[in-house]
Amino acid sequence: MSSPILKLIAQRVALGILLLLAISVLIFAGTQILPGDVAQAILGQSATPESLANLREQLGLNDPAYVRYFHWLGGVLTGDLGTAMSSGQDIATSIKGRLWNTLFLAFWAAVVAVPLAIILGLIAVRYRNGWVDKLISGLALASTSFPEFFIGYLLVYFFAVKWQIFPAISTVYDGMPFGERMQAIALPATALTLVVLAHMMRMTRAAILNVMQSAYVETAELKGLSAFAVIRKHAFPNAIAPIINVVMLNLAYLIVGVVVVEVIFVYPGMGQYLVDHVTKRDVPVVQAVGLIFAAVYISLNIIADIAAIVANPRLRHPK
């Protein structure tokens, strides 16, 4: 790789680390200003003042905020996410299986959504301004207009309640056979696919249409190449950078934005884990899950930036 590319990549990585550090401050500050007393929430309303004072001292709640922040950050950097206040379980151990479940769900949603979005985008460009383009764009717009919970409940009603094809509750467990696991995640994966598919398709179409105005595309058309050959060989490769960015942003959403879908289908992933402990005001769990979501989102954005940089021919072959 050339020096300009390496310099840009190093800048993106450094910026991502600084951004994650800033987000960790915001997450910690946000959980500290929540109303209510953590010790009171754990021990209940019948707790004595002495027991409340002892628990606050045990949890370090009497220390200044910046001391607690650096203690928490130091633990995170060494792999210690703390202990859940509501259950006393190690957070890292509890998150491990749930993070795998969320990644498994997001992976299979992406396997369907990404190639389908690109193919539909190419078809829409090939038949641009025709009835096929208008049909695809109209369906994409309609899909984008529906929130995740509405799509999820529609899927549950038709495929679980009315037709009884798939289970309404997506129960998965360790050692579950692959076929049963795929059947269990069919509805939540479909909901996530429908949520991100339309956006990726529309942005793919827009990126390719932007390239179609270029002189080299017009030259390829004048040479007598078929419309799809022009799109596949000349337009699509030169529109790959913005398409990669859109795909990565939607992949990040598949992982970070699963909270609503996981709650609807009672799927044992990170989103469900977060909601369960928000209701219990379990601050260490909320901090840990929030930071993991932020790290995943920033990491995928960095990968998108790096891919876009590497895909730029002006940077690969500087004059």
Indicate the residue type of 308: A
* Distance (Å, whole) CA 103 – CA 251: 10
Q: How many CA atoms lie within 13 A of 109 on its CB side?
A: 28
Burial class (CB in 10 A: 0-12, 13-18, 19+), 178: exposed
Over the stretch 54-83, which tens digit does the pLDDT of each residue have?
A: 877 877 777 888 888 999 999 998 888 888
CA distance 238 to 236: 5
Residue spans per domain, the chain: 91-281
- The pair of structure tokens assigned to 74 is 């130091």
d(CA 13, CA 66): 26
Which overall architecture, per CATH, does domain 91-281 show? Orthogonal Bundle (1.10)
> Average pLDDT in the 35-60 region?
76
User: Which amino acid, residue 313?
Assistant: P
- What is the Cα–Cα distance from 299 to 278, expressed in whole angstroms? 25
Instruction: Count the neighbouring beta carbons within 10 Å of the beta carbon of residue 113.
Output: 27
Residue range 274-292, pLDDT digits in tens: 988 887 778 889 999 999 9
Exposed e or buried b for every residue in 69-100, given b needs 16+ CB within 10 A? Answer: beebeebbeeeebbbbbbeeeebbebbeebbe
CA dist list (Å): 144 to 135, 137, 208, 316: 14, 10, 20, 36
Average the pLDDT over 114-140 and give the result. Answer: 90
With b for 16 or more beta-carbon neighbours within 10 A and e for fewer, the 271-284 pattern comes to bbbbeebbeebbbb
- pLDDT at residue 317, rounded to an integer: 59
Phi, psi of 95 (to 5 degrees): -75, -30
For the stretch 195-222, pLDDT in tens is 899 889 999 999 888 888 888 888 888 8
